Structure 1
């Protein structure tokens, strides 16, 4: 599979809530750079992140556009996050089922046929405003 196909499958698994399918596409030393907070390295830390996300949010990604580069090792994705805020997190507004629609982007690297880096960006102040209204 090409880097693009691997990343497209990763996001298809995300939208299907197929967490095991997502994890199977990750390099053992995955570097996860979330929009906020510390960098996570390794499948175990990424798995913990997925559990937390599944508990606090119900999200589907739409309007996905992918960009690749000639070396077939990096992919960028632009998308819209359509979510429900199910359970509050420390330092964030209380959750009571608020819905939100938020533009976001991610940059992914593929090494040896596995995703080795996921870096995600979105506008956190906008998300806070959307769930606080």
Structure 2
């Protein structure tokens, strides 16, 4: 059933995220992939996404909880809602200085899929909420 395939692919993507397995995340992506981030430019392709993940893993330590995954009946769209539980490890340029602050942030992702692989991920979180938490 296509909706189950979409949900399984998205679940595998987030399971790999929680395991710190960038290769596992990339394995869920279609060759024609676009990463639309909450703030900043769209990243095109698996290589750009892997570079982003490398930067994120040295700057933030995050674990997602309360994950709920949805999939459209035809398997071409999906979404996920979750809570980000993180530690700010290294100052990200243009953001507050890092000194090990922790944060808990509601977030979500929206997906397009083709042939059982993710072609687009759009991530949403409230940046101002995050800045307030790490600036406190």
Query: TM-score normalised by the shorter chain: which range applies?
Result: over 0.9
Q: Distance in 2 between matches of 1:52 and 1:13?
A: 16
List runs of 5+ in structure 1 lacking aligned partners. none
After superposition, residues 122-133 of structure 1 pair within 5 angstroms as: 122-133=125-136
Q: Distance in 1 between matches of 2:32 and 2:53?
A: 16
Specify which of 98, 103, 112 is matched with residue 100 of structure 1: 103
Tell me the CA shift for residue 109 of structure 1.
1.2
Tell me the CA shift for residue 113 of structure 1.
1.8
List runs of 5+ in structure 2 lacking aligned partners. none
1:109 aligned counterpart, secondary structure: strand
Does residue 1:73 correspond to 2:80, yes or no? Answer: no
Tell me the CA shift for residue 29 of structure 1.
2.2
Specify which of 68, 81, 84 is matched with residue 87 of structure 2: 84
Query: How much is the aligned-residue C-alpha RMSD, in angstroms?
Result: 0.9
Runs of 4+ that moved beyond 6 A: none
Does residue 1:59 correspond to 2:62, yes or no? Answer: yes
